[in-house]
Amino acid sequence: MGTDTAVGKTHQACLLARALRAEGRGVAAYKPVASGSAPPGQSDAELLWAASGSAEPLHRTCPQSFHAPLAPPLAAALEQRQVDEELLASGAVWWQQRCEFLIVEGAGGALSPISESSTVLDLACRLQLPVVLIAANRLGVVNHTLLSLQAILARGLPVLGVVLNDLPPASQDVSPDSNAGLLRSFAPASIPLVHSIEELWQPSGLDAH
């Protein structure tokens, strides 16, 4: 789950999928819905599908996609379609019955709408998924991360860690050097803060879930 769009969710999910595969674990990746276009082979779904080494058709990795770079329900409406609410969850359940470790990547941030009536966080609660929160190490990340954690923890989901993803710095942004320290001061001390999801992959971390 992310704090926003374009924070590195797909990159971190792919890192985890490849790490799991390298250890011989049965892994699958799932993106319930996607919107926006990308060059061939570079969509989130295609990257996740490749990283997980899936032998299933691409639509099993992402069963619903829409062209416009908008929230999925808005992108669907432009095509005179609707997001299939039940498929969001049933597509994940299909994988849960067939793999050892399922990575689910949301669209946008925790409270981003993914259908006409539900958010990314709603779906995570429905599926009872533990959360790894991905945040971009840039100006504003402290506020975005703390608000996201507050929303997730209020719904009772376990947070396995926060990944402060290092992106190419914007000009004049000096915050990346101090964001981690500030987050550690305000976020719950029990939640690990790392710079790569691979740092959470150990018997005491993600492997327990």
Residue 95 to residue 60: CA distance in whole angstroms: 8
- Counting runs of H as helices and runs of E as strands, what totals does the chain give? 8, 7
**How do strand 101-104 and strand 27-30 relate by DSSP bridges?**
parallel
Residue 11 to residue 145: CA distance in whole angstroms: 18
DSSP 3-state of 66: strand
Residue 179 to residue 193: CA distance in whole angstroms: 11
Q: Tokens at residue 94, please? A: 């299909």
List the end-to-end C-alpha distance of the chain, in Å, as a whole number.
16
Residue 31 bears catalytic tag: yes
Active-site residue, from 9, 11, 31, 138: 31
Q: Give the residue from 8, 6, 67, 13 showing the smallest Cα distance to 198.
A: 13
Catalytic residues: 31
